[in-house]
Amino acid sequence: MNPYRIRFFDDYSGSVHIVITKVTNGRQYIAKEIVLQFEEIPEGSFFKAPTLRINWHDSKDFMAALKEALDGEKLPPSALEGELKATKYHLEDMRKIVDGYMGIEKTNES
């Protein structure tokens, strides 16, 4: 059984609360608060430290719990899906342009 559990709560004020718990030796623990804050870094530079560090031993269970939590969420269709659809149509248009430029005619076989 996975010792991690991740839950999402909407506080209806524009924030989503993410609660991470872990059960070890029959005792339940909760992760300390992490406030997601960003700082500007120069382009091409490396980060100083990771946003979240998990020891290797626990990382598989943590990632599995995160995946399970995300799979259970009723998320709206992502912007990425729309971007992929737009890219598909763009590539089809570009193919037509290139085929016309190269003098390639579309046949029933292609």
pLDDT in tens, 45-68: 887 788 888 889 889 999 999 988
According to the model, what pLDDT value does residue 64 have?
92
Higher per-residue pLDDT: 96 or 53: 53
Say whether pLDDT at 78 is over 80: no
pLDDT tier for residue 44 given thresholds of 50, 70 and 90:
confident
**CA max distance for the chain:** 71
Q: Which residue has the higher pLDDT, 31 or 47?
A: 31
pLDDT of 36 reads 86
DSSP summary character for residue 44? T
Instruction: Measure the CA angle with vertex 81, ends 87 and 60; round to 5°.
Output: 120
In the chain, where are the structural domains located? Answer: 4-75, 78-110
Residue 5 scores a pLDDT above 80: yes
CA distance 48 to 38: 13
Give the pLDDT confidence score for residue 17 in this predicted structure.
86
- 25 Rama sector, left if φ>0, alpha if ψ -120 to 50, beta otherwise: left
Range with lowest mean pLDDT among 4-13, 58-67, 94-103: 94-103
